[in-house]
Structure 1
Amino acid sequence: MTNKLKEIASGLAGTKTLNDFVEYAGVAAAIETVAGNIYTGISIDTACSMGFCAEHSAVAEMLKHHEFQVRAFVAVDAAEMPSPCGRCRELISQLAKTNLDAIVEVKNGVFKSLKELLPFDWKEDLDRNW
């Protein structure tokens, strides 16, 4: 499952320079939803730090299609090294409680559930519907 996602993301990764201020696609991400759809995104890096992560880009694409439940996701750089950051893991966890069961490749060949990566989830102590 995530090998397919890694292959898709790897095809998008590779830093490209737009101009003196913007580089993009240094990291690419692929998300598979519980419905089986795959959404992708790329990172954007700017000179004044206004860019964003590839996972955020993929999440935005997924939400545009009214999906929010994630089965698996991966983020890779051009060397195909997985690199999902904590900020992105937290974002995905906030979309749906069931996303804590999503599988993410944290190192080449090492797969963990999102819950394993967020073991002391602050949302567990809140009385909210998520």
Structure 2
Amino acid sequence: MFQELVSLAQSKLRTQEFSGRISCGQVSAAIETSSGKFFSGVCIDAPCALGTCAERNAIGSMVTEGEFQIIKLVCIKGHDVILPCGACQELLLQLHPKNFKIEVLTNLEGATIKLKDLMPYWWGNT
């Protein structure tokens, strides 16, 4: 069910360092939209607040193509599945009213959690 997304995310992992300040590719993310399209991104780490998460890079590509509703999300670091950070969860929830239903992969065995369960007290629910 998530294998295509996992494979896509794993294919993007490749740690790169350049400029003496920036590194990227340690974390990758892949998303599936409600239209069935896949988008991916990698993290960009900087020694200040100018970096960005893999999820936000994938979201940027998705939004560039006119998509806003996500149904599945995978975040990979090394050989492990990780959860999106709080800032990415917030952005996901604000992008589309139905994104609270996003299935987030929690391990490579296929376990998932809904985004609404990661953010049960989200301020936008008021």
Q: Distance in 1 between matches of 2:80 and 2:8?
A: 11
Partner of 1:128: none
User: Equivalent residue for 2:113?
Assistant: 112
SS of equivalent residue, structure 2 residue 27? strand
CA distance in 1, matches of 2:83, 2:122: 20
Spell out, residue by residue over 1:3-32, the C-alpha distance to the aligned partner (whole angstroms, 9 max, x if none): 221111011113111231010111111010
Deviation at 1:81, TM superposition (A): 2.8
Deviations 1:42-69 (A, max 9, x none): 1001123420000000000000011000
Instruction: Provide the TM-score with structure 2 as the length reference.
Output: 0.91
Give me the identity figure in percent: 32
Q: Which runs of 5+ in 2 are unaligned?
A: none
TM-score (norm 1): 0.89
- Aligned residue in 2 for 1:99: 99
Q: Is the 8 A contact 2:80 2:107 kept in 1?
A: no
Cα distance, 1:108 vs. partner? 3.6
* Amino acid in the other structure paired with 1:42: V
Partners of 1:123 and 1:36 lie apart in 2 by 26
Where does residue 36 of structure 2 map in the other structure?
36
AA in 1 matched with 2:31: I
* One-letter code aligned to 1:23: S
